[in-house]
Structure 1
């Protein structure tokens, strides 16, 4: 039986570290789907217009011209994942055609075990860079495992392109919990995404739009609102530097904490 995508009606938190503090928590809607299946309720579609939709061209490789799951599988293979695995995409859907995702996640699983993640990051300047996260030997990733990568792409114009990301992932059958900490000395940001997994329905989509109108358009509006708050607090603006040439970078180390 084909399983419909999961709807994660959760929340995200961001907490800025350093001399200028700023923190917020917002509700968000993500979907977790098998990118090779098209099943779903009437108000959700793959690769065509709908109230909620996910399009292959928005993910995997060049921004706006992505190859979808084919790209993700190729990246996992290049990283050395040679045993059988399944791939799911965790992302914010488009809402009435509008799309913006600060970060989406390609999840590679061996059975129920999470064994690798590609964190596909996008900034408001039109750039994209992906971080390949896994443990040595593609061992199962638990919430206790921290995977560290060097920050290579400009994300916030109020943070330097320096320091490291520390990723923590929990992907259970009933919930998702992801933590990303950018650490650059005493500066940085801690971001989380959490929510319960439930099959997506037209009712859950309508409820999401009632709680959080305009979906991804609301996301980009809140990003600019927080940027304005930081500017008014005196945060220094950094111009967008040249993005990294490589589309994917590997984790630099992993540790159990």
Structure 2
């Protein structure tokens, strides 16, 4: 692979959450994410000494961590993730056939927890067809929102969907997500952003954002990212519980957890928002 970068890459940046009501609370953490081209995973496993696909490594990706819970394939390693995504697109009447790239936290020394994974699903001509927002909670549940996607003239993708899956015990279910995404590019240093505004009937409740820049995926880059954040994935879980303790101490009540949705994927139609939608600021 000398001289030819992968379609996959690392994205180094930060995650921010800012709750605006009924109490104000803000957090920010430095993180790095993996953008995994699903067709490329076996090649990454062969070419990179510090990356492991479906086995233990410094940085790893296991198929079973994504898609439907309990989905197992040959050897118990997980289902065909690209085939699963293509099946979801076909069932929703959305054209696919192109690359499927998954933005997620990788396993670090075998451990990972992903509150949100973002699947970028493309048509055969390379244009973005849909985004799958895959959400996990700390109760062992996972759910996905499949939303059509189209970039506006400013290059941003804007989407909306109603919340249908329990995540935080301190957040009401009767809310909606408004996504604003700068999709990943293919050049080193290019920016990526996933911003979420969560609203209720009276207005904004929470702003969350991942902002990062691309670093080419090499063994040196993997080692550097790990050296800066050696316990990053463990820190994600610890941080979720630490911040929950802060919210509880600020007086927020725990909301009861409803049953998980009957279907693992919510298909959201006609959810592409116009560029004119009012921008939101954390």
> TM-score, normalised to structure 2's length?
0.83
Question: Please, which moves more after superposition, 56-65 or 24-33?
Answer: 56-65
Matched, 1:60 2:78: no
Q: What residue is the counterpart of 2:194 in the other structure?
A: 178
Alignment of 1:22-33 (within 5 A): 22-33=25-36
User: In 2, distance between residues paired with 1:80 and 1:108?
Assistant: 13
Gapped regions of structure 1 (runs ≥ 5): none
Residue 75 (structure 2) aligns with: none
Paired residue total: 254
Deviation at 1:145, TM superposition (A): 4.2
Partner residue, 2:148: 134
Note if 1:254 corresponds to 2:261.
no
Q: Sort the Cα spacing of 1:63 and 1:204 in 2 relative to 1 into closer, same or farther, 3 A.
A: farther
Query: Of Structure 1 and Structure 2, which has the larger fraction of its residues in strand?
Result: 1
Moved more, 31-40 or 126-135: 31-40
Aligned partners of 1:25, 1:97: CA distance in 2, in Å?
A: 24
**In structure 2, distance between residues paired with 1:222 and 1:59:** 22
- State whether residues 115 and 140 of structure 1, in contact with CA within 8 Å, keep that contact through their aligned partners in structure 2: no
Q: Secondary structure at the match of 1:85?
A: strand
Structure 1 residue 19 corresponds to structure 2 residue 22:
yes
Who is 1:196 aligned against? 213
**Cα distance change of structure 1 residues 202 and 144 upon mapping to structure 2, 3 Å threshold:** closer
What's the CA shift string for 1:108-133, capped at 9, x where partnerless? 12445322110010000111110112
- CA distance in 1 between partners of 2:71 and 2:110 (Å): 13
Q: How far off is 1:246 after superposition? A: 1.1
CA distance in structure 2 between the aligned counterparts of 1:208 and 1:83, rounded to whole angstroms: 33
The Cα of 1:150 is off from its aligned counterpart by 0.9
Q: Using the alignment, how far apart are the partners of 1:48 and 1:62 within structure 2?
A: 19
Instruction: Give the distance between the partners of 1:83 and 1:72, measured in 2 at CA.
Output: 9
Aligned counterpart in structure 2 of residue 210 of structure 1, from 212, 223, 227 = 227
The answer on whether the counterparts of 2:58 and 2:109 sit within 8 Å (CA) in structure 1 is: yes
Q: Residue in 2 aligned with 1:77?
A: 90
Is residue 104–residue 120 contact of structure 1 (8 Å, CA) maintained in 2? Answer: yes
Distance 1:163 1:198 in 2: 35
Q: SS at the partner of 2:224?
A: helix
Q: Flag the 1:158–1:64 CA change in 2: closer, same or farther, 3 A.
A: farther
The 5 A counterparts of 1:33-44 are: 33-37=36-40, 38-40=42-44, 41-44=48-51
Tell me by how many angstroms 1:3 deviates. 4.6
Q: 1:190 & 1:45 partners in 2: Cα distance? A: 34
Deviation at 1:36, TM superposition (A): 2.2
1:145-172 Cα deviation digits (max 9, x unpaired): 4211110011111001111111111113
Shift of 1:179: 0.8
Q: Structure 2 CA distance, aligned partners of 1:154 and 1:143?
A: 31
On the 8 A contact 2:99/2:126 being kept in 1, the answer is no
Match of 1:165 in 2: 177
Inter-partner Cα distance in structure 2 for 1:14 and 1:112: 32
TM-score, normalised to structure 1, is 0.91
Counterpart among 125, 138, 162 of residue 150 in structure 1: 162
Change in CA separation of 1:83 and 1:187 when aligned onto 2, cut-off 3 Å: closer
> Does residue 47 of the first structure (1) align with residue 49 of the second (2)?
no
Structure 1 CA distance for aligned equivalents of residues 9 and 34 of structure 2: 5
Query: Structure 1 stretches (4+) deviating beyond 6 angstroms?
Result: none
